[in-house]
Structure 1
Amino acid sequence: MTGPMFGVIMAGGAGTRLWPQSRRQKPKHLLRLVGDKTMLEMTVERISGVIDAEKILVVTMAEQANAVRELLPLIPRANIISEPVGRNTAPCIGLAAIVVRDRCPDATMAVMPADHVVGNRGRFEQVVRFAARQLEAHPEALITVGIKPRRPATGFGYIQKVERCDEVDGFGLFNVGRFVEKPPLAQARRMVADGHFLWNAGVFFWRAEAILREIAVHLPELGSALDGLAHSLGKEDFDKRLAETYTKINPISIDFGVMQKARSVLVIEADIKWNDVGSWASLASIWPSDEAGCA
């Protein structure tokens, strides 16, 4: 039986594709780009419907940590985890996983970016609950979320769904055939027409122990570094060890480093409105246009 679920929000990066509004010191997840709240606040609210604040962790850059703490007073200070430098999503997730496992060895994780827009909060909460139930049935699985594509987008990654494993409340659970990173337009059109490809939403569910085991297998150097950090958790020299370790870690994404190589990977096909707000063009698809057609 799996333990409680922790929410992990990845809030690093500079969002340079939204320059000049988004900068290193003030990245897009700290901006009010959609509505009157920052994207990070919206992400915390979205997951707080199913996970209590004391079990929500935010992984951010050291230079952004104070701004994140001020923005999220209900999140315990110990839950704001600072990376010395950005090393992409695999180290970020691994760092969060050792913290979660230290607090509860059997815990599961719901991992998501801080800078995505998701419509229909209630439906998203249903996705999280569905994933939690699936982890009970598939405790060693790495589960990701795919969105049925609305158009042949070239700015998103894609996930190929194959055999169906389960279906509840309109959510299908499938084995994953392969991942495709940001294809050219012709390939995107073929995949959308095929009907078996989903947009990669960058949202993941797994047991903390399971993802750490997969990191150790597929990214052994990172796995070894995380083992060393795990032994230093709670000690006075942890921040020093963390800084030293991060100078030696190679940047790599969790998709490329683990998800594309692991065997037990499943995808939930979710019918939620989603956008990764990775560019001004994607923002324009969210903002209403005026009579002249300008956002």
Structure 2
Amino acid sequence: MVYGVILAGGRGERFWPLSRIKRPKQFLKLTSDKMMLEETIDRVLPLIPIENIRIVTNESMRDIIYENLDSMKTENILTETEGKNTCLAIVLAAIHLIHNDPKAVMVVLSADHLIRPEEKLLNILKVGIDIASSENKLITIGVVPTRPETGYGYIKMGDLYRQDGEHVVYQVEAFTEKPKAAIASQYYHSHQYLWNSGMFIWSANAILEAVKISRPNLYDLLEKYKPEIGTDNEFEARKELYKNAESISIDFAVLEQANNVLAIKGDIVWDDVGGWRALERYKHKDGDNNVILGDTVTVDTFETTVYNDGDGIVACFGVSDLVIVRSGEITMVVHKSYVNDIKKLLNKIADDETNKKYL
């Protein structure tokens, strides 16, 4: 069967102060009137029944999911004892799925992406599922770039592997990390590169076999954990697994070393909604290129994003190129050129015991 594995364990630090430890980005309504996690689940329901959805998230997020998503049952949620990046989250889901279904096919999605139109994504997923169901392939969805972007990783397309109507599948020649501006421009204009969307399709067996080759130590840890699935000792065994496993992305750990990786070329609107500047790409701008969300008054204010979910107003006069966020008891003002480095600010706040409660 086909399962939707939704990664929902991130903290969304670049959306602080709206995204906080107790309610991170995936539980916010940033792109629609639904939580981003809920939107992700709904996106794949025409293809994957609700009982086949698996949300991988931190143990502390379990109650938020139950409180906000009535359709979620115990079997839908797989909790991590600590954050260890995407590789461990994905293979944890794989080892659980294959325990009950040796032929399980996984559609791996992030809980906090914006994707339009959703019908196109479903058609792309169908192509990937068809391949993954019968071939030992690791499939990623590569998005056609719409601009030179330094905030995303890239996939270099190799030889044509298969074409199903409008859907073209390539062998992956290389993965590249987030490039400098000049390199991003080269990638964009060459038409040989796709954005690495972080969406994957493969059988649980295929990804575990790839881990066995590229990360044998992790595979050994999984083999030790596997007999504990479904026992009273499962959660303690998972703690031990997470304690001993390295923190690494699936790209670094497996995909960059594997020789059976394919990319489906996705001509879709996709955004990882990684930080406050993402709002500029899909929210309405006024005549001065300001994005205003919430009660705000501006005079001689340009190229500024204001988000106000508190009482009263935010008043801006004679400023430009800022991100101003008022959320509850917190107000943040940051220049746009620093907005992707908010973690430095959070580290400073974390150093002060009095202010830690605001994280």
TM-score, structure 2 as length reference: 0.79
* 1:93 shift after superposition: 0.2
Alignment match of 1:134 (pick from 131, 142, 149): 131
- Contact 1:53/1:76 (8 A) holds in 2: no
Supply the RMSD in Å over aligned alpha carbons. 1.0
Q: Which moves more between the two structures, 84-93 or 24-33?
A: 24-33
In 2, Cα distance between the equivalents of 1:264 and 1:250? 23
* 1:232 shift after superposition: 0.6
* 1:270 shift after superposition: 0.8
| 2:285 match | 289
Are 2:254 and 1:261 equivalent residues in the alignment? no
In 2, Cα distance between the equivalents of 1:202 and 1:258? 13
| 2:307 match | none
- For structure 2, the residue ranges without an aligned partner over 5 or more in a row are 292-359
In 2, Cα distance between the equivalents of 1:73 and 1:226? 31
| 2:81 match | 84
- Contact 2:187/2:193 (8 A) holds in 1: yes
In 1, Cα distance between the equivalents of 2:156 and 2:127? 20
| 2:267 match | 271
The ranges of structure 1 where at least 4 consecutive aligned residues each deviate by more than 3 angstroms after the TM superposition are none
TM-score, structure 1 as length reference: 0.96
In 1, Cα distance between the equivalents of 2:47 and 2:213? 31
- Contact 2:116/2:268 (8 A) holds in 1: yes
**Which amino acid is 2:240 matched to?**
E
Alignment match of 2:162 (pick from 157, 161, 166): 166
| 2:347 match | none
**Relative contact order (alpha carbons < 8 A, sep ≥ 6): 1 or 2 greater?**
1
Alignment match of 2:144 (pick from 148, 163, 168): 148
Determine which structure has more spread, i.e. the larger CA radius of gyration: 2
| 1:203 match | 199
- Contact 2:141/2:265 (8 A) holds in 1: yes
Residue deviations 1:20-45, cap 9 Å, x none?
11122211100111111111000000
Are 2:69 and 1:58 equivalent residues in the alignment? no
In 1, Cα distance between the equivalents of 2:180 and 2:121? 29
Alignment match of 1:220 (pick from 202, 216, 221): 216
- Contact 2:255/2:261 (8 A) holds in 1: yes
SS of the equivalent of 1:163 reads strand
- For structure 1, the residue ranges without an aligned partner over 5 or more in a row are none
| 1:6 match | 3
Residue deviations 1:46-75, cap 9 Å, x none?
011100001010000011111122222213
Residue deviations 1:122-181, cap 9 Å, x none?
1111111111112245x2100000011000000011000111111113111000010011
Question: How many equivalent residue pairs?
Answer: 291
Are 2:182 and 1:186 equivalent residues in the alignment? yes
- Contact 1:147/1:200 (8 A) holds in 2: yes
- Contact 2:65/2:72 (8 A) holds in 1: no
SS of the equivalent of 2:244 reads coil
In 2, Cα distance between the equivalents of 1:290 and 1:34? 18
* 1:76 shift after superposition: 2.4
| 1:234 match | 230
| 2:45 match | 48
**Which amino acid is 1:184 matched to?**
K
